[in-house]
Structure 1
């Protein structure tokens, strides 16, 4: 990537700027913002998007401060300024009075600045363009969806779970499947339509009567032929006797029989290695514990236990079927709530605007948004998810003369837990007109910068993906190595190798 010169680039392009930590990302945003103002873009027409309310407030403060200082220097003595923006604008002598007038007007009207979070932008766009987006006029934003998710989850269990067979309810209890567990499992995914279900559909199999018949046969064998099974296993020369010992085998048989006597055909056996003892007599387990070259012990009891294991796997698939059904149930309930109450969650704002822009008749919506916003800058772009990028690319990237800046660092992607997708960043990099990088690190000591450069330059793909490059940065000439001990500069990047048997203090 080429180093960025914010005063030489053609701003009427789609531009990706890679800004490593400490390279002046926010300073660059304020520079580009002030340049747009100087070139005639009204303050309310420049959209700046970031990801949190705190970041938006901080960015607004920093931009206003830069605007104020730039204007003051231009009006007083621009030659005394060390600010590259002031020097750049002061060279435009013929248009300098007009530039100052524009900056002054922007400062007066700065309360109208469009600096906001992605969710605020989507909410504002949907409300102001209700006709074009086919959305409700009265949208009520609900910040916390936990109460709604809880209500839907309990409603789902009441209508679709509690009336299921008692055996399957025992299976759910065994796996601690409750309305609360569904809430915890699906909280991060219920409002992300881009997620594809795999498998897409799993049928719910009603095999519970067949399961009970198998249990009845197993119980009969345990009551009348347990000694026969015990003798067969203990006399088999190929079975691992450390596991299938004289102590273990009778105990496993007794435990299984006792459970059946207590619970009868309602008994649910956990057919896993750490589950109930009956699993030890499945053919699946016997294969693992029989020496190579020896035939497996044969008995009707082992076949029945294997069938019980297959039923247990069907129960697992039934749980998957239930989860898929819950997602459909939640989506339907969500749409119903939005239509009746007008309540929207944060994710719904992004999903609804993205869906509106995907429609064939979205040209009026795109035109309306572009009339409002003549330029766009996105901060922390590496944390953008595919739906968010789709919104901005449709609105700004597809229009050739709109300044559209995406500023971020793929090495700092931290919001994967809420949908941030590094591949959205890589796609934007491919689709942008130009890509630049910020090459100076203003935060770290020169020796630390050199050390990081050395480490990450030793591998061709230090971040695994070949599309994520490592671009070396430099420290400014005024930077100093300030970490000193006894008049000697201490290396700021050090590695300590500790042997396994050494205690770390």
Structure 2
């Protein structure tokens, strides 16, 4: 290791040593953010500053939470083994035993946890359900349509208001979606002042009058140019419609609000063309721009008046359905903590130390929640004035990787909280040691980003910090930075450029995986025996999602396994739309349009000629008709297809919707068909993803086929859904993903693929988050067509806000380049294009620095593998069916058995007669639940708990008096006092253990003194055991739940409560239950590796402890 590893040694020591200091750790790429979190968590536990149950670690994603939990558990186990100090060892050991009590998860799950615990304070249904992003998007779509229906029935005035500015409600769906994602911001309005339409009409009429004298009336030989066509349309509008209606006037200005140029050979002379071009541009700048600005600001207020009730309508529907989306979870938690100081105090005591990962991706409401929980002043309602209690908050992030402004996370929030921490006596630590990349990568990256990031941080951008790498370049391995140059291609078509680039990249990967390339490996990789290149060593990153599939197809053609992430191909896929068509047809069998669409589609492939012939011969496109006589109409294919549709329709009536759909997939062979087609894994995987989404809806109560058809229709209009392959998460595959999905990931080789991006979009929103004001949202609203959006409204002062947003956007683009360039461990390859694509370069900031970078040498071109055609020979089909049947039989044959201690101990024993008429199992559960709470120190809650427990078990509330008398007698008993004095005590302990049948042979109960109630047969001489079945050879998973285990100085005591009215039959009762306690004792010792000194039954009705083990004493 290089000495550079020690550059930030003092900073790292503070993490584990200064536990009473609040820290914001700015950890650069590859600096070990997860290790910093784990080190802090272990240090807090070692010191006794907090317990495992008061520690919370909040992450950005579920995947990150799972990784952190795994790392923490591993480090905690090692710490327990290595610790010498007995007191510290006990702390760590207790933490390990109670690891599940430590919260490690996402901020949304954390908020849900808080809300479920204290819902009453904000009138929230305690049984609320959390909505995932897909479900939220689909529900938003549904309730938007319901809102439109409501408005048409009840909102004549608001519809009239929109009509007056030339808008239809349906045109505002995208605007509704945009503002609904920002429920916490104040939407800034437009202008209420009516534009001076008369002034603008006079100017337009005057300009057109002059233009009519100049624009050619006859069509030029080569046709009209763009400006001439526009002017001719204006002339027609004026002649046929006039400009008395101000909506037509403004539509005409929108026609003129484009970059319209002249083609000089289409005009009488070059001078005339130039003069009119200049005159048109001047008119557009002075009149058109001003007119449209006033018009759009005027419209904006009307649109907000329509959208605000829509947002409230959707919010109310979520509340009625007890559904909370991610924003609801955050906002409700924030409100709960802000408005209830006592709740804030309660949770501050419950979670004394909070650690937050990826803080640069935290949105303002998340920051608000965290500061309410850790703030020193529980009465302060303004989170921006709160200062965390010393040591209560530990934040880890890298502002240079803040790339989710479009998801409400922005650098402003980061800067605000950073300032609050510093003002409150906290510290900002800087970790720059990089354990990921080789020196050669840092040698290229550092000069690049030193010239891009500022020397000192500002409101838009953090300061430059170097990557101090510790990994040395190794000889005879591949390392460093290379480029792939795509030569100039005619017309510079993006698809052709991507195809060339994809071929180069996949050819090199194919060559490398043949043993031609070796990499410097980490210790972990060396331990796995890795040296030469394999598919999982390669990561392809894309700045944008467009054309990702071209690279996936190139990998597939070369037989290289791959996984694609971040593609929106699900909702756009042909196969999903075909399934929706099928579902529509099955849901509405009398609709011939749906039926014909399915017949023509991938399920049946009936030709138009066959359909025409079928219709001419008298056929009807209804599969509910009987086709036994008419099945040959138009050829057999139509009739057979209709019969198949009828069979599928029957299934939708007999089975749950998702089951019927799955049966249809299997019966039709569509999964096999798609899996063997181009990009088959993704296509077939989409079908399984659809089934999983539909099953989730069924679990939520949507069980009708008609309901799921409606849900599927809305699902296909949601663009947030990513495709999935048939084999997601396979270990050895090339990964392809868009850049936003790659944050936190790394790979030995990273290709920054596809040099062509898209033109930068003009800002369409700007949110102001500063200390002096509440969040303010400025939104542009557009009406989207097939390919582009048309601006329909804007807020007042938008031009200033747009310029400000551009600065934020440009700064974030730089950070995106930083994220891209810091994923590689050994080798980074950047694709570039020789031709001129102006501002559409995908990797612009890096592209500019490729001057001295060597070209990646493509050693060989891999032959594309043609898809093999399947040819079946005689008997092969029957053989394959036989093999499949054998595989199915093997799959359904059990590989283990399940057995419970209770059923095993009572096997072949007769139920004691007195027990058959007792209080029953529900009475026992009530007593068990109350004793568990009492044993954990909840005595003050027992009265209320008794009422609830009886209701939950469906018992008479009048039994409460008898129940409480029984509980009171137990709590006063000598046995209970013995429990309370124990060093450790655990209640209702579930367990499972793997064993085999030979260890579970139970003798009939006999009074065997020291031998005990449970004895294993040494010989199998009886007829009963002469023949051991296959089932008896299987391993057994034995499960049970121990009522009580408590530890005294010389060992553990295992107890089982019995709540029956025993009467005079104690001995019979002991015979019936004794073996159960013996089994509990045996497996407690086996699981814990600690001695059980005593085990027995406690009879609550007699207040009697009967020792069963080691020597039975009745």
TM-score (norm 2): 0.34
Q: Which residue of 2 aligns with 1:10?
A: 18
Q: Which structure has the greater CA radius of gyration?
A: 2
User: CA separation in 2, counterparts of 1:170 and 1:456?
Assistant: 49
Give matches, 1:240-259, under 5 Å.
Answer: 241=214, 244-247=215-218, 251-252=232-233, 255-256=236-237, 259=240
User: CA separation in 2, counterparts of 1:128 and 1:439?
Assistant: 40
Whether the 8 Å contact between 1:6 and 1:32 is mirrored in structure 2 is no
Q: 1:265 to 1:319 in 2, by over 3 A?
A: closer
Give the SS at the match of 1:289.
helix
Give the SS at the match of 2:180.
coil
Q: 1:5 to 1:363 in 2, by over 3 A?
A: same
User: CA separation in 1, counterparts of 2:118 and 2:257?
Assistant: 61
Q: Which has the higher contact order (CA 8 A, sep 6+)?
A: 1
Q: Does residue 416 of structure 1 match 2:405?
A: yes
Whether the 8 Å contact between 1:3 and 1:439 is mirrored in structure 2 is no
Deviations 1:33-61 (A, max 9, x none): 11122122222211000122222122111
Give the SS at the match of 1:62.
helix
Give matches, 1:128-277, under 5 Å.
Answer: 128-133=117-122, 135-143=124-132, 144-158=135-149, 159=151, 160=155, 164=159, 168=163, 171-172=166-167, 179=170, 182-199=172-189, 202-203=191-192, 241=214, 244-247=215-218, 251-252=232-233, 255-256=236-237, 259-260=240-241, 268=248, 270-272=251-253, 274=255
User: CA separation in 1, counterparts of 2:836 and 2:314?
Assistant: 56
User: CA separation in 1, counterparts of 2:281 and 2:179?
Assistant: 46
**Deviation (angstroms), 1:103:** 1.7
Whether the 8 Å contact between 1:188 and 1:418 is mirrored in structure 2 is no
Stretches of structure 1 lacking an aligned partner (at least 5 in a row): 75-89, 236-240, 280-284, 297-305
Whether the 8 Å contact between 2:23 and 2:391 is mirrored in structure 1 is no
User: CA separation in 2, counterparts of 1:153 and 1:290?
Assistant: 42
**Deviation (angstroms), 1:434:** 0.7
Q: Which residue of 1 aligns with 2:768?
A: none
Whether the 8 Å contact between 2:176 and 2:310 is mirrored in structure 1 is no
Q: Which residue of 1 aligns with 2:371?
A: 393
Q: Which residue of 1 aligns with 2:492?
A: none
Deviates more, 1:424-433 or 1:134-143: 134-143
User: CA separation in 2, counterparts of 1:151 and 1:286?
Assistant: 50
Deviates more, 1:267-276 or 1:104-113: 267-276
Determine which of 31, 52, 55 is the counterpart of 1:43: 52
User: CA separation in 1, counterparts of 2:372 and 2:396?
Assistant: 18
Q: Which residue of 2 aligns with 1:23?
A: 31
**Deviation (angstroms), 1:419:** 0.8
Whether the 8 Å contact between 2:254 and 2:292 is mirrored in structure 1 is no
**Deviation (angstroms), 1:483:** 7.0
Give matches, 1:340-355, under 5 Å.
Answer: 340-355=320-335
Whether the 8 Å contact between 1:482 and 1:489 is mirrored in structure 2 is no
**Deviation (angstroms), 1:367:** 0.8
**Deviation (angstroms), 1:386:** 1.4
Number of aligned residue pairs: give it: 433
Quote the RMSD (CA, aligned, Å).
4.5
Whether the 8 Å contact between 2:161 and 2:302 is mirrored in structure 1 is no
**Deviation (angstroms), 1:499:** 6.2
**Deviation (angstroms), 1:456:** 3.0
**Deviation (angstroms), 1:31:** 1.2
Deviations 1:427-453 (A, max 9, x none): 222222111122311100023223333
Q: 1:57 to 1:272 in 2, by over 3 A?
A: same
Deviations 1:227-279 (A, max 9, x none): xx86x6566xxxxx4xx334459955762366439x997994622363699x9
TM-score (norm 1): 0.71
Determine which of 468, 478, 482 is the counterpart of 2:474: 482
Q: 1:46 to 1:59 in 2, by over 3 A?
A: same
Stretches of structure 2 lacking an aligned partner (at least 5 in a row): 1-7, 219-227, 261-274, 377-387, 483-826, 842-854, 856-1114
**Deviation (angstroms), 1:329:** 0.6
